[in-house]
Structure 1
Amino acid sequence: MKPLGLLIGMVFLIQTVTGFLANIVLLFHYLSLYFTAYKLRPTDLIAEHLTIANTLIMLSRGTPQTMQGFGLKYFCQVSRCTLLLYVYRVARSVSVSTTCMLSVFQTIKISPMNSSWKELKAKLPKNIGLLTCFSWILHILINCIFLFYDIIKYTSKNITELKDFGYCSCILRDEIIEILYTAFVLLPEGLCSGLMIWSSGSMIFFLHRHKHCMQYIHKTKDFHKTCPETRATHSIFILVCTFISFYTLSSFFYACIANFRNPSWWLMKTSAFFATCFPTVSPLVLMSCNSTAARLWIKLSGFFRSM
């Protein structure tokens, strides 16, 4: 194996192991709260679904990229590649929608009681579970359409046009199908990104106004009541900014790959790296305002360092 290929494989291995373990630790934290009869907050419930989606992304994208980096091509068959891409696209879409949901919910939550969000502020927490389940069902069904199309096309005739993703090869779709895929999948993701940009600006405005108001409050106990909410808002704001940054880069490289029938090796590797950056970083950001999960991660990190 060439030194460069080994280096790329090690980079993907470190990224995949870190992202997978961080998401598992955070998911274990939320599940432990659930099974100990602790009532999860709406933000915890959304973050739990985000963690599940990110774990699937690491398994469906990070794992095969790591294997391919070390010269293994288990997913080279078209059927395996199609299924792998289906899992990745569902998980990516859910990750986008839940991150958007988390950002919008936190913005509405910290908005003033006399704002136009007053009624929605009272009703939204009760429907968070329904919205997250709806997100999974919607993206599973939408991507099923393209999965069945690929299966039918694969079994109906000899395949001569395949698109190489490095770790696997899938069927090259017709132009009309690609347009439909863009309309049903990529446009909603773009809409979610726009909502996140709006919510980020709103959070900055609310936090700035809150800080200005707190200058006139001298009671220590009242100040400390706002601290956890402020820390959570800062964490979600950082999470959204991280998502927008990596999503923009990932979308740019995805668009470049879509325009080439046989993309270059460097383009494929760069695209794969940025596609799994957010699932790797997001659990670490969420742990920053969650002391219990952070302690679990520190213990796990110490255990692996001592091995």
Structure 2
Amino acid sequence: MDLCFIIKGVSFFVQTSIGIVSNWAILISYLNMVCHRYKLMPVDIVLSHLAFVNMMTLLTRGVPQTMTVFGMVHVLNDAGCKAVIYSYRIVRALSVSVTCLLSVLQAVTIKPTPGRSIAKIKDLKYLIMTLVVIWLINMAVCIAAPFFSAVPRIGKVPKFTLDLGFCHVYFPNQLGYIINGFAVSARDFTFVGIMIFASGFIMQTLYRHRTQVQNLRLSNSRNGAAESKAAKNVLRLVLLYVIFFGVDNIIWIYMLTVSQVPSIVSDMRVFFSSCYASLSPILIILSNKKIRSSMKCTLRQQITQVEIYVCHV
């Protein structure tokens, strides 16, 4: 195995490992809060959902890609390949959808006087319904993915095929290849556009809050400062997504212009498309005091249990 493959394999392994551990830590932290009867806010529910989606993104794309780079091929049959591709398409779509929902939710939260219909999104019942609807829509939209997926065949890779290493996604012709690419891009660009609009509103509100505090619902109180900090954290998440979304789509647009995609280009797209799932949980942990406190509490409990076990032994 040459140096290029080693670097590529280590990069995918590190990215996947860090992402899975970080997202799992967030989920455990929120689970610990629920077990201690801590009331989760709407933003907490969306963040926990985002952590789950990001972890599944890495499990369905990062793990198979890492195994393929290290030579562990033919680990999936056709059924397994279809299941992995379908699951990945769903969670990838959910990643942008839930991040968009998070930005809209934060915009509604920070808005001084939100309309009654818009403010319903902060209600737990409506928030859960929104998440369920997002799941159902993305499951329906991605239903065609398994029909074009199969394990790699021996021989030359046909034209208009996405070679993922562990699996191939075949398209019957160039038209189908391009339509699929633009359909996926159009969906993602729509959500990103909503994100940018919501983020612009948040930035405008924060600026007006700083210059005209007396005219806004937010104040210099602890609650106002907490809302302002939460809004800035959401802005950082959106910025992180937009950066990697831009790189991902630049590569994707290039891939649509050629019939045979070089493997290095495909690997670069996989890596950059997974960066958000890997880095966003680190940003969430560093910026969310509630999660850090829960992680410390859980760690102390584990240490205490180990000490009790050692004493009994």
Deviation track 1:119-145 (CA, whole Å, cap 9, x = no partner) reads 235322121111011111111122123
Deviation track 1:35-88 (CA, whole Å, cap 9, x = no partner) reads 333332111111121111111110111111211222222456554333322111
Shift in CA distance, 6/205, structure 1 to aligned 2, threshold 3 Å:
same
Deviation track 1:86-141 (CA, whole Å, cap 9, x = no partner) reads 1111001011111001001111211122xxx3223532212111101111111112
> 1:180, CA displacement in angstroms?
5.3
The residue matched to 1:109 in structure 2 has which SS?
helix
> 1:263, CA displacement in angstroms?
1.5
Mark the runs of 5 or more structure 1 residues left unpaired by the alignment.
Answer: none
Aligned to 2:56: 56
Shift in CA distance, 47/266, structure 1 to aligned 2, threshold 3 Å:
same
- 1:30/1:48 contact within 8 Å kept: yes
Aligned to 2:116: 119
The residue matched to 1:170 in structure 2 has which SS?
strand
The residue matched to 1:40 in structure 2 has which SS?
coil
The residue matched to 2:287 in structure 1 has which SS?
coil
The residue matched to 1:199 in structure 2 has which SS?
helix
Shift in CA distance, 297/278, structure 1 to aligned 2, threshold 3 Å:
farther
Task: Map residues 146-295 of structure 1 onto 2, 5 A cutoff.
Answer: 146-147=145-146, 149-150=147-148, 161=158, 162-175=161-174, 177-178=176-177, 181-182=180-181, 185-214=184-213, 222-294=220-292
- 1:253/1:271 contact within 8 Å kept: yes
> 1:177, CA displacement in angstroms?
4.0
Aligned to 1:135: 134
- 2:185/2:249 contact within 8 Å kept: no
Deviation track 1:183-232 (CA, whole Å, cap 9, x = no partner) reads 65432221111011111111111111111134x79xxx943231211111
> 1:5, CA displacement in angstroms?
0.8
- 1:164/1:262 contact within 8 Å kept: no
Shift in CA distance, 299/265, structure 1 to aligned 2, threshold 3 Å:
farther
Shift in CA distance, 213/92, structure 1 to aligned 2, threshold 3 Å:
same
Task: Write the letter of the residue equivalent to 1:263.
Answer: V
Q: What is the rounded CA distance, in whole Å, between the counterparts of 2:157 and 2:275 in structure 1?
A: 33
Q: % of aligned pairs identical?
A: 25
Task: Write the letter of the residue equivalent to 2:211.
Answer: H
Task: Write the letter of the residue equivalent to 1:125.
Answer: K
Mark the runs of 5 or more structure 2 residues left unpaired by the alignment.
Answer: 303-313
TM-score by length of 2: 0.82
Aligned to 2:67: 67
TM-score by length of 1: 0.84
Shift in CA distance, 107/80, structure 1 to aligned 2, threshold 3 Å:
same
Q: What is the rounded CA distance, in whole Å, between the counterparts of 1:297 and 1:255 in structure 2?
A: 44
Q: What is the rounded CA distance, in whole Å, between the counterparts of 2:267 and 2:101 in structure 1?
A: 30
My pick for the range that moved more, 89-98 or 253-262, is 253-262
- 1:235/1:288 contact within 8 Å kept: no
Shift in CA distance, 172/203, structure 1 to aligned 2, threshold 3 Å:
same
Aligned to 1:38: 38
Q: What is the rounded CA distance, in whole Å, between the counterparts of 2:72 and 2:258 in structure 1?
A: 24
Q: What is the rounded CA distance, in whole Å, between the counterparts of 1:299 and 1:42 in structure 2?
A: 22
Task: Write the letter of the residue equivalent to 2:244.
Answer: F
> 1:33, CA displacement in angstroms?
2.3
Q: What is the rounded CA distance, in whole Å, between the counterparts of 2:292 and 2:137 in structure 1?
A: 32
Q: What is the rounded CA distance, in whole Å, between the counterparts of 1:164 and 1:211 in structure 2?
A: 51
Q: What is the rounded CA distance, in whole Å, between the counterparts of 1:292 and 1:110 in structure 2?
A: 19
Q: How many pairs does the alignment contain?
A: 288
Q: What is the rounded CA distance, in whole Å, between the counterparts of 1:35 and 1:137 in structure 2?
A: 28
Shift in CA distance, 233/163, structure 1 to aligned 2, threshold 3 Å:
closer
- 1:166/1:268 contact within 8 Å kept: no
